[in-house]
Amino acid sequence: MSQRLEKLIDQGTGRESADIVLKNGRFFDLVTGELVASDIAICGERIVGTCGDYAGKTEIDITGRIVVPGFIDTHLHIESSLVTPHEFDRCVLPYGVTTAICDPHEIANVLGEEGIRFFLDSAEQTIMDIRVQLSSCVPATHLETAGADLPVEKLLPFRDHPKVIGLAEFMNFPGVIHKDPGCLAKLDAFWDDHIDGHAPLLRGNDLNGYLAAGIRTDHECTTAEEALEKIRKGMHILVREGSVSKDLAALMPILTERLSPFLALCTDDRNPLDIAEQGHLDYMIRTAIANGVEPIAVYRAASISAARAFGLRDRGHVAPGWRADLVVIDSLENCKAEMVFAAGRRVTDAIFATRKPVAPVGLDSVKARPVQAMHFGVPVSENETPVIGVLPGKIITEHRRYRLPAAGNQTGVDLDRDIIKVAVIERHGRNGNHANGFVQGFGLKKGAIASTVGHDSHNICVVGVSEDDMALAANRLGEIKGGFVVVEDGKVTGEIALPVAGLMSLEPYEVVRDTLHDLRKAAYALGTTLEEPFLQVAFLPLPVIPHLKISDKGMVDVDRFELI
Ligand SMILES: Nc1ncnc2[nH]cnc12
Ligand SMILES: [Mn+2]
């Protein structure tokens, strides 16, 4: 042990050449806000020298470049990248994201503990430091059928794993406020651990009650005013920019130097196409600065503030003794990662080859029986029909009500008002539930889009104009063992297979990215006006996001937290 320390001290004092020295650059000091011209000496996993001249066994000239601490994605579901943790590592680390704190509740809702184990085994191999939080709400609520059930006794065996950071987003906020026994058992068992929150639109005394239970963060703020109330009440706000949930613009007013110690960045759900087209946390940083946010505020949120919020005491500064997670960028404003160091190792293609593979799981997770067009029928009703109102770039949906036209003895779609059908079909082989409803805002003029990604229970979710196309799309998902399918006029015009639990591909991220690009084109050909139609389909079944959703049990009034 002392040998390791002696080496660090000898390289830090300059008595011995450092393993690596970044020469002729500047680093961004997140304490003072200065750009400091300095060599940066690295020994093993640590920074050992700054603000001085150093010799190195390996010297890398970074003239004109700036060094910032590695970025930390404080809340994400790796499954939403549609690739495995190993491929996520290879896809995202080069953007400077050296730490990711994930909640594996997507795969856990399908496979239970087996899914969590797969993520922990993967996290032990990835170059990026992937931390895994224990999924607190599987199933998310009693209003849906998941593929698994994770009461507290199934979580406790994982708690002391070195890659685990407490409980993941406590989404069942009604269950907390109304003291659901299962919720209280988890909150009590993890009393001394970190507990992540998920409290969209929760305000006032209900929010106080939720916080009194020991929950510390939120990533569901969609307005600056909501975020300010939560910061005032001691929450750490994780500003989110995902493939559907895009809250950065609304929350920019709170991204200030003063509030930056209580802020972090996250993506929640971001797919490889958006990562390729825009970037990852680097995209959030450059967008924030381009819109007037001070660099020190957003770089703190991306690193030191995030590290402190999650108890990662070894990282977040460019300073001696801190973890050598470093991003060499072209400028603070452009934030283009030109070199990345993860725990002192330079990130190159070769480094990913040093990881051991982890066998995929859940390769036969779609157990739904084939359906027919008639299964999507909705009887005529004299009353107004509840219609889910989809909002572009949001997973919050409105609870709308319309009188819909009759088609024979059935309630029909109404393309003039952009109202089409939606259905959720249970796919875990537990009860064969099939619920039908209506949704407005997809812009579809024909065809159907189906998905086995259906947050968070991941039943089949399908939207469509034609019941025949909806049936074809849903059945095709069973044939490809899960994924997304687009159907137009009786033909499959686009699909991506996600055979790992019906959520992730076995292909490299480049293949998934390119397939998604073609898939989006097939969806646009149906007339959709949404930028990211697949994830917007995937969020329709999530009954912990206001206001109206649909599960395999039926339409869910989220505000009243009941089936209607
Ligand atoms: N995948 C997810 N699960 C639960 N809540 C979310 N909010 C945004 N994405 C989510
Ligand atoms: Mn959430």
pLDDT in tens, 354-388: 999 999 999 999 999 999 999 999 999 889 999 99
Is the confidence at residue 5, as pLDDT, over 90? Answer: yes
The pLDDT value given to residue 469: 98
Task: Please write the tens of the pLDDT for every residue from 398-433.
Answer: 999 999 999 889 999 999 999 999 999 999 999 999
Domain shared by 107 and 58, yes or no = no
ipTM: 0.94
Which of ligand 1's atoms lies nearest the C-alpha of 200? 7
Which of the ligands is closest to the CA of residue 199? 2
Q: How far is residue 37's CA from residue 35's CA, in Å, rounded to a whole number? A: 7
Domain shared by 267 and 398, yes or no = no
The pLDDT value given to residue 393: 86
Beta carbon of 513 within 6 Å of any ligand 1 atom: no
Task: Please write the tens of the pLDDT for every residue from 17-52.
Answer: 999 999 999 999 999 999 999 999 999 999 999 999
Task: Please write the tens of the pLDDT for every residue from 289-346.
Answer: 999 999 999 999 999 999 999 999 999 999 999 999 999 999 999 999 999 999 999 9
- 3-state SS, one letter per residue, for 353-415: CCCCCCCCCCCCCCCCCCCCHHHHCCECCCCCEEEEEECCCCCCEEEEEECCCEECCEECCEH
Beta carbon of 455 within 6 Å of any ligand 1 atom: yes
Q: Is residue 253 assigned to a domain? A: yes
Beta carbon of 395 within 6 Å of any ligand 1 atom: yes
Q: Is residue 415 assigned to a domain? A: yes
Which of the ligands is closest to the CA of residue 77? 1
Which of ligand 1's atoms lies nearest the C-alpha of 105? 3
Range of the domain at 438: 373-558
Q: What length is written for the chain? A: 564
Q: Which helix (H) or strand (E) holds 58?
A: strand 56-61
CATH number at residue 40: 2.30.40.10
Domain shared by 423 and 545, yes or no = yes
The pLDDT value given to residue 407: 85
Neighbouring-strand partners of residue 379: 410
The pLDDT value given to residue 437: 98
3-state secondary structure of 211: helix
**Residue 216 alpha carbon to ligand 1 centre in Å:** 17
**For 117-135, what is the mean pLDDT?**
98
Instruction: Let me know: does 536 contact 453? Beta carbons within 8 Å.
Output: no
Spell out the residues 6+ positions from residue 251 whose beta carbon is closer than 8 angstroms to its own: 221, 223, 224, 227, 237, 239
Sheet containing strand 46-49, strands side by side: 46-49, 40-43, 18-23, 56-61
Of 74, 143, 198, the one to substitute when testing ligand 1's pocket (max ligand atoms within 8 A of C-beta) is 198
Domain shared by 93 and 203, yes or no = yes
Neighbours of 476 (CB within 10 A): 16
Of 109, 395, 458, the one to substitute when testing ligand 1's pocket (max ligand atoms within 8 A of C-beta) is 395
Q: Alpha carbon 441 to chain centroid distance?
A: 23
The pLDDT value given to residue 81: 97
Q: Is residue 344 assigned to a domain? A: no
Beta carbon of 103 within 6 Å of any ligand 1 atom: no
Domain shared by 13 and 140, yes or no = no
Beta carbon of 241 within 6 Å of any ligand 1 atom: no
3-state secondary structure of 264: strand
Beta carbon of 226 within 6 Å of any ligand 1 atom: no
Domain shared by 119 and 206, yes or no = yes
Task: Give this prediction's pTM.
Answer: 0.97
Domain shared by 206 and 271, yes or no = yes
Task: Please write the tens of the pLDDT for every residue from 289-304.
Answer: 999 999 999 999 999 9
- The pairs formed by 175-184 with CB atoms below 8 angstroms and a separation of 24 or more are 175/137, 175/141, 176/209, 176/210, 176/213, 176/215, 177/206, 177/209, 177/210, 182/151, 182/152
**Residue 172 alpha carbon to ligand 2 centre in Å:** 10
User: What single-letter amino acid sits at 28?
Assistant: F
Instruction: Let me know: does 131 contact 101? Beta carbons within 8 Å.
Output: yes
Of 75, 76, 77, 241, the one to substitute when testing ligand 1's pocket (max ligand atoms within 8 A of C-beta) is 77
Which of ligand 1's atoms lies nearest the C-alpha of 240? 8
Which of 203, 131, 128 minimizes the C-alpha distance to 161? 131
**For 86-95, what is the mean pLDDT?**
98
**Residue 130 alpha carbon to ligand 1 centre in Å:** 18
Q: Is residue 18 assigned to a domain? A: yes
Domain shared by 162 and 300, yes or no = yes
φ, ψ for residue 413 (rounded to 5)? -75, 165
Ligand 1: residue whose CA is nearest its atom 10: 268
Is the confidence at residue 1, as pLDDT, over 80? Answer: no
Domain shared by 394 and 513, yes or no = yes
Beta carbon of 129 within 6 Å of any ligand 1 atom: no
Q: Point out the domain boundary residue: 289, 310, 331.
A: 310
3-state secondary structure of 306: helix
Domain shared by 550 and 465, yes or no = yes
Q: How far is residue 74's CA from residue 99's CA, in Å, rounded to a whole number? A: 8
Of 102, 137, 169, the one to substitute when testing ligand 1's pocket (max ligand atoms within 8 A of C-beta) is 169
The pLDDT value given to residue 219: 98
Which of 560, 543, 562 minimizes the C-alpha distance to 146? 543
Q: Is residue 129 assigned to a domain? A: yes
Beta carbon of 458 within 6 Å of any ligand 1 atom: no
**Residue 376 alpha carbon to ligand 2 centre in Å:** 30
Q: Is residue 352 assigned to a domain? A: no
The pLDDT value given to residue 382: 87
Instruction: Let me know: does 552 contact 145? Beta carbons within 8 Å.
Output: yes
Domain shared by 394 and 509, yes or no = yes
Mean pLDDT of the chain: 97
CATH number at residue 176: 3.20.20.140
Which of ligand 1's atoms lies nearest the C-alpha of 106? 1
Q: Is residue 461 assigned to a domain? A: yes
Domain shared by 279 and 148, yes or no = yes
| Domain count of the fold of the chain | 3
- Which DSSP category does 254 fall into? G
Which of the ligands is closest to the CA of residue 135? 1
**Residue 332 alpha carbon to ligand 2 centre in Å:** 29
Q: Is residue 365 assigned to a domain? A: no
Q: Point out the domain boundary residue: 64, 89, 104.
A: 64
